Amino acid sequence: MTLRRGIAAAAVAIVLTLLPNTAQAAESYPDPQPITGQQIIHDPTVIHLRSGGYVAYSTGGVIGARLSKDRVNWTDEGNAFAEPPSWWYEYNSTGDPWAPDISYRSGKYWLYYAVSSWGTNHSAIGVATSNSGLPGTWTDHGKVFTSETTDTWNAIDPALIRANGKLWMSFGSYWTGIRMVELDPRTGKAVEGTTVHHLATRPDAPYAVEGPYIVKHGRYYYLFASYDACCAGVNSTYKIKVGRSTSVTGPYTDSTGKPMLEGGGDLLLEGHGRYIGTGGESIFQDRGQDWLAYHYYDAEDNGTPKLGLNRLSWTKNGWPKVF
């Protein structure tokens, strides 16, 4: 879910997915809804603000910010922060943050994000809070969870979910895939000594799965993740896959019953026409309707990353489908 991971992008680009494809044929994938204004974005997280309107945060800048009154016309509103918090420079020389996730609980907005460098899992996830959720109003609270080169996971691409009275954070990229830890709801940081649960990987190195997002629908938890290569413009091969579980910590399986820990995952959305490399996804609710937010690379605009929004619906069998 980031402009990230330097496990040789060229090598990643040739990784061919061996996972089952049970979703729509490519020609039936819907285009993103038409939007206007500032469309450029990468790894979007979107929320309908309680004060009205929408905010989208993203990779780029000091967590780039976009605002909209109607979910159609978007304006560039600068960044979440005026300057990078000093501790970000422990993880890259430019203080560059990746892949934010916004949520609302306990009377305030919470913004999670990652800081790292290409090609290393010396990485950290941080958190900030705001009363309004608007750019320029965030107070940073430091590190939530970290990874080092001795770990078999990568602490980037955070996404939160509340389940069974507990707060959980999924995360991960390459380095054996998607993980999950429990958070302290008071601090928003990892519970001391928390178990690092393993949710999804693939059998083929470099384990090109990242950017998880989990939602509850009915009695199931659904794990969405981006597979293959991002960040290469029109040569990107990003696609979104999904599995589900009756437990937030897994095991997650696809519609054929294949575990996501064994390379399973139903294909939800992939590139088609001008919309290349669909991924970096998140999900938000708007007036009771689920929406999928993601980026794609516009083949008709030199591969520029842009915001994709599609309605997310559910089949009779309880599987998600984009419209």
* pTM (2 d.p.): 0.92
Does 43 participate in catalysis according to the annotation?
A: yes
Q: Is the pLDDT of residue 13 over 90?
A: no
Contact 80, 98 (CB under 8 A): no
Does 83 participate in catalysis according to the annotation?
A: no
Rounded Cα distance, 320 and 268, in Å: 8
Domain region containing 154: 9-322
Residues whose CB falls within 8 Å of the CB of residue 165, separated by 6 or more in sequence, listed in order = none
Q: Is the pLDDT of residue 277 over 80?
A: yes
The angle at the Cα of 102, spanning 188 to 64, to the nearest 5 degrees, equals: 120
Confidence band for 3, pLDDT divided at 50, 70 and 90: very low
pLDDT of residue 4: 43
Is residue 172 in a domain? yes
Query: Please, what is the average pLDDT of the chain?
Result: 93
pLDDT of residue 24: 45
Rounded Cα distance, 233 and 316, in Å: 36
Confidence band for 28, pLDDT divided at 50, 70 and 90: confident
Q: Give me the CATH number covering residue 59.
A: 2.115.10.20
Is residue 92 in a domain? yes
Bridge-partner residues for 112, per DSSP?
101, 127
* Residue of 43, 157, 266, 270 marked active site: 43
Q: Is 56 left (phi over 0), alpha (psi -120 to 50) or beta?
A: beta
Q: Is the pLDDT of residue 19 over 90?
A: no
Question: What is the helix (H) or strand (E) element at residue 22, kind and residue range?
Answer: none
Lowest mean pLDDT among 12-26, 94-108, 136-150, 276-290: 12-26
Is the sign of the CA dihedral 313, 252, 217, 144 positive or negative? negative
Interval 64-83 mean pLDDT: 98
Interval 202-226 mean pLDDT: 97
Q: Which amino acid is at 156?
A: I
pLDDT of residue 260: 98
Interval 115-128 mean pLDDT: 97
Q: Is 70 left (phi over 0), alpha (psi -120 to 50) or beta?
A: alpha
* Torsion on CA atoms 50, 76, 301, 224, rounded to nearest 10: -30
Is residue 1 in a domain? no
Is residue 267 in a domain? yes
Q: Is the pLDDT of residue 296 over 60?
A: yes
* Residue of 210, 254, 266, 281 marked active site: 210
List the structure tokens of 4. Answer: 């990230």
Q: Is the pLDDT of residue 183 over 50?
A: yes
Q: Which long-range contacts (CB under 8 A, 24 or more apart) does 245-248 make?
A: 245/220, 245/221, 246/219, 246/220, 246/221, 247/221, 248/161, 248/163, 248/164, 248/168, 248/180, 248/214, 248/216, 248/221
Q: Is the pLDDT of residue 2 over 70?
A: no
Question: Strand order in 108-115's β-sheet?
Answer: 97-105, 108-115, 123-130, 139-147
Q: Is the pLDDT of residue 191 over 50?
A: yes
Domain count, the chain: 1
pLDDT of residue 316: 96
Residue-wise burial string across 291-301, b where 16 or more C-beta atoms lie within 10 A, e elsewhere: bbbbbbbbbee
Q: Is the pLDDT of residue 95 over 80?
A: yes
Bridge-partner residues for 102, per DSSP?
111
Q: What are 30-59's pLDDT values in tens digits?
A: 999 999 999 999 999 999 999 999 999 999
Is residue 3 in a domain? no
